[in-house]
Amino acid sequence: MRGMLRELPSRWLGLLVATVFWCLLWGGFSASDVLGGLVVAVLVYVLFPLPSMAREVTVRPLAFVWLVARFLWDMTVSAVQIAWWAVRPGPEPPTAVIAVELASRSDLFLTFTAALSTLIPGSVVVEAQRATGTLFLHVIGVGDEEGAEQARERARRQELRLLRALARGEVLEGAGLR
């Protein structure tokens, strides 16, 4: 427990983010909200410690901005497509479950890629195989092998943008990107 308390200063960014989320949940940034959020963040960190991400993550600002911009674009385009399929007359759009083998074997980036893929309307991660680095996605609008390959490629490009924005050199090398 003492070791975790000694590490708290190096975890300031995570504590800050957790405190901001706490304040957003409570609807304000009063002194009591900020202090309460900080206390809760420290308690959660001490009671439920996570492994350090420092050995896998480094932020590249331009690549990160591109990741966020492209993610927002993909999310918008997909939301419009799903909305159109919901209101248009005719049969339901085709769906499929596809397997996407990712470049990285990092649990962290497998999780991040799965989260980003699920946040884009029309795709949901139904399974993730850690040992093989494979995501299984249920996607809407895929009726043939060409459509399935396009959906796989979109997920792979999402992972590559994520890796280029946040992965350290060792992770990039492991994914064959260096």
Any domain includes 54: no
Q: Is the domain of 136 the same as that of 166?
A: yes
My answer on whether 88 and 7 are in the same domain is no
Same domain as 66, residue 124: yes
Could you tell me if residue 12 is inside a domain? yes
Does residue 41 sit in the same domain as residue 65? no
Average pLDDT over residues 3-30: 76
Assess if residue 55 is contained within a domain: no
- 32 pLDDT tier (thresholds 50, 70, 90): very high
Q: How confident is the model at residue 146 (pLDDT cuts 50, 70, 90)?
A: very high
Tell me: do 69 and 121 sit in the same domain: yes
* Confidence at residue 83, expressed as pLDDT on a 0 to 100 scale: 94
Question: Do 38 and 98 share a domain, yes or no?
Answer: no
Do 79 and 134 lie in a common domain?
Answer: yes
State whether 77 and 148 are in the same domain.
Answer: yes
- Out of 10-19, 86-95, 122-131, least confident range: 10-19
Report whether pLDDT(1) > 60: no
Residue 111 domain-assigned (yes or no): yes
Residue 53 maps to a domain: no
- Considering the domain boundaries, does residue 56 fall inside one? no
Beta pairing class for 95-101 and 134-140: antiparallel
19 and 80 both lie in a single domain? no
Tally of structural domains, the chain: 2
Q: Are residues 109 and 170 in the same domain?
A: yes
Are 26 and 91 contained in the same domain?
no
The answer to the question of residue 52 being in a domain is no
Tell me which of 4-18, 30-44, 101-115, 145-159 is least confident: 4-18
Question: Domain for residue 86, yes or no?
Answer: yes
Mean pLDDT of 113-127: 93
Instruction: Note the pTM of the prediction, 2 decimals.
Output: 0.73
Within this chain, do residues 42 and 67 fall inside the same structural domain, yes or no?
Answer: no
The whole domain housing 42 covers 2-47
